[in-house]
């Protein structure tokens, strides 16, 4: 087996141009598997690559798990074994990859950073000046924070999707599912200022034309949005954030102000309530009214929505 590991390391180095750290980690992981197999009754010199079974690999990972190895470490070790046998399959040294049927451990997905409300407000103010690009960036940031839209949904907004009079916007989400959700007055004013900066032609554009344009007049891309958000948010004390952090902040701030979980689910476009439950556990009332009362950049109101733990006076 040691000869096969050496050949695999050479393959990673020469053909894959893998980093020295990757090669070092994979070598260590595969030798750890060899040591485990030797300790289970196989003599080290008799361990043949085509004799290793899925049960052997599961037992190896189970032992590591019992020793307290992190899920990320187990996933990497399994990836090393899987890649090793993929190489051996290509070389004709084995007939099957024993790691193919083994599921990787589920890794916890860390939630994006939540901006403090003051930081979110400051971020909206960072695009300065009256140029069309500055006004576009301001309108884009306001839209992301005001609607909780995914980046792909925000760049997919067309001129005809915005109903300023009703304070609503149509978003196209995953699986081409559409939803109409509230958008705050602050965001709609920013969008209006941006469109006015483009001239009268922009105000008369076809309803199917993109709302947010790049400097060449085409639809803004998700990658461009990520760069825009990163550029402005890098000025915050906590450093740059991803566009998804604005979506996460949107939901968290609504919940902080008493919005119910079902309404948040509908506005975020989550198919399952369990996806929304990563934010908190609340229940409650209607959609647009909740939004207007709860979101810090929606319409100005004089009464606040009572929190779950407050009794009406």
Q: Is 70 one of the annotated active-site residues of the chain?
A: no
Radius of gyration (Cα) for the chain, nearest Å? 27
pLDDT band at 81 (very low <50, low <70, confident <90, very high): very high
List of domains in the chain: 2-91 (1.10.150.130), 117-294 (1.10.443.10)
Q: Which of 136, 195, 248, 270 is catalytic?
A: 270
Query: Is residue 150 among the annotated active site residues?
Result: yes
Of 113, 150, 172, 253, the active-site residue reads 150
Task: Find the catalytic residue in 51, 174, 278, 286.
Answer: 174
In angstroms, the Cα distances linking 53 to 35, 48, 85, 95, 183 are 15, 11, 11, 12, 56
Report yes or no: 127 and 135 within 8 Å, Cβ to Cβ: yes
270 is an active site residue: yes
Sign of CA dihedral 195, 201, 204, 207: negative
Q: State the pLDDT confidence band at 290, using cuts at 50, 70 and 90.
A: low
Catalytic residue among 113, 172, 247, 295: 247
Query: Among 42, 58, 179, 244, which one carries the catalytic annotation?
Result: 244
How many angstroms separate the CA atoms of 171 and 267, rounded?
Answer: 10
pLDDT band at 2 (very low <50, low <70, confident <90, very high): confident
Q: What is the pLDDT of residues 209-250, one digit of tens each?
A: 999 999 888 999 999 999 999 999 999 998 999 999 999 899
Average pLDDT over residues 117-137: 95
Q: Of the residues 279, 291, 293, 295, which is catalytic?
A: 279
279 catalytic? Reply is yes
Q: What per-residue confidence (pLDDT) applies to 59?
A: 92
Annotation marks residue 250 as catalytic? no
Residue 308, pLDDT above cutoff 80:
no
């Amino acid at each position: 087996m040691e000869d096969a590991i050496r050949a695999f390391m050479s393959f990673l180095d020469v053909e894959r141009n893998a980093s020295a750290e990757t090669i070092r980690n994979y070598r260590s992981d595969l030798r750890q598997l060899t040591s485990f197999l030797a300790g289970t009754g196989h003599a080290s010199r008799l361990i043949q690559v085509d004799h290793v079974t899925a049960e052997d690999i599961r037992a190896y990972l189970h032992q590591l798990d019992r020793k307290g190895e992190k899920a990320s470490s187990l996933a990497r070790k399994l990836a090393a074994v899987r890649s090793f046998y993929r190489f051996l399959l290509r070389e004709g040294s084995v007939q099957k990859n024993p790691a193919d049927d083994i599921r990787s451990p589920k890794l916890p997905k860390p939630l994006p950073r939540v901006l403090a409300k003051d930081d979110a407000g400051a971020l909206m103010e960072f695009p300065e000046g009256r140029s069309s690009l500055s006004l576009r960036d301001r309108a884009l940031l306001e839209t992301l924070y005001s609607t909780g839209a995914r980046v792909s949904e925000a760049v997919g907004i067309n001129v005809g999707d915005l109903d300023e009079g009703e304070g609503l916007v149509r978003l196209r989400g995953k699986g081409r599912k559409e939803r109409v959700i509230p958008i705050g007055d602050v965001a709609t004013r920013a969008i209006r200022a941006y469109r006015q900066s483009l001239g009268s032609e922009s105000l008369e554009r076809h309803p199917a034309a993109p709302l947010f344009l790049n400097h060449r007049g085409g639809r803004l891309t998700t990658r461009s949005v990520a760069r825009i958000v990163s550029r402005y948010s890098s000025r915050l004390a906590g450093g740059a954030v991803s566009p998804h952090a604005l979506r996460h902040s949107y939901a968290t701030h609504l919940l902080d102000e008493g919005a119910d979980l079902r309404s948040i689910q509908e506005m975020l476009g989550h198919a399952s309530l369990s996806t929304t439950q990563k934010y908190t556990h609340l229940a409650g009332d209607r959609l647009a009214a909740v939004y207007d009362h709860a979101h810090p950049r929606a319409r100005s109101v004089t009464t606040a929505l009572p929190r779950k733990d407050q009794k009406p006076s």
